[in-house]
Amino acid sequence: KEKGIDICVIDMPLLDTRNGKDLMGTFIADLVLQILSFVAQNERENIRKRQAQGIAVAKAKGIKFGRPEIALPENFGELVHEWKKKRLPLSEVLEVCKMSEATFYRKLREYRLLKQK
């Protein structure tokens, strides 16, 4: 309204604000747009609620979301020890563990925390 833009919905001539520039035409177009906006907002909220319900049901069934957890090799401690002593390059450790560098450092942090306990 403020920018003076007209709306034309091809399959809804009632929403064509180019033609009815009189008070009644503008009022009807505004009213219909407000109703459609309300319906769209209501539908978005319903979709979010249904999605949340579906997620809750899936979690109750034990379904896990996200990427599968990368399992550490059994000799992860030995690999870390060899890497820290500079006997193994990081690239080789990453290849054996089949993980990226960022994942390796995250798993290393977790491993050290578990080891402390």
Contacts 24+ apart (CB under 8 A), 94-97: 97/72, 97/73
Q: What is the mean pLDDT of the chain?
A: 87
Same domain, 54 and 81: no
Residue 3 lies in a domain: no
Who has greater pLDDT, 52 or 72?
52
Same domain, 55 and 82: no
Same domain, 51 and 90: no
Contact 72, 107 (CB under 8 A): yes
The pLDDT score that the predictor gives to residue 47 is: 98
Whole-number Cα distances in Å, 113 to 2, 106, 116: 59, 11, 5
Residue 55 to residue 99: CA distance in whole angstroms: 29
Who has greater pLDDT, 71 or 43?
43
Per-residue pLDDT band for 26 (boundaries 50, 70, 90) equals confident
Rounded mean pLDDT of 29-41?
A: 86
Residue 22: is its pLDDT beyond 80?
A: no
| Tokens representing residue 54 in the block | 């579906």
Instruction: Give the pTM.
Output: 0.51
Residue 33 lies in a domain: yes
Same domain, 21 and 49: yes
Tally the domains of the chain: 2
Residue 100 lies in a domain: yes
Residue 18: is its pLDDT beyond 80?
A: no
Residue 37: is its pLDDT beyond 70?
A: yes
Same domain, 54 and 82: no
Residue 4 lies in a domain: no
**Residues spanned by the domain of 100:** 76-116
Rg (CA), the chain: 30
How would you class 87 by CB atoms within 10 Å of its CB: exposed for 0-12, middle for 13-18, buried for 19 or more? Answer: exposed
Residue 110 lies in a domain: yes
Residue 20: is its pLDDT beyond 80?
A: no
Residue 70 lies in a domain: no
Rounded mean pLDDT of 50-77?
A: 92
Same domain, 84 and 112: yes
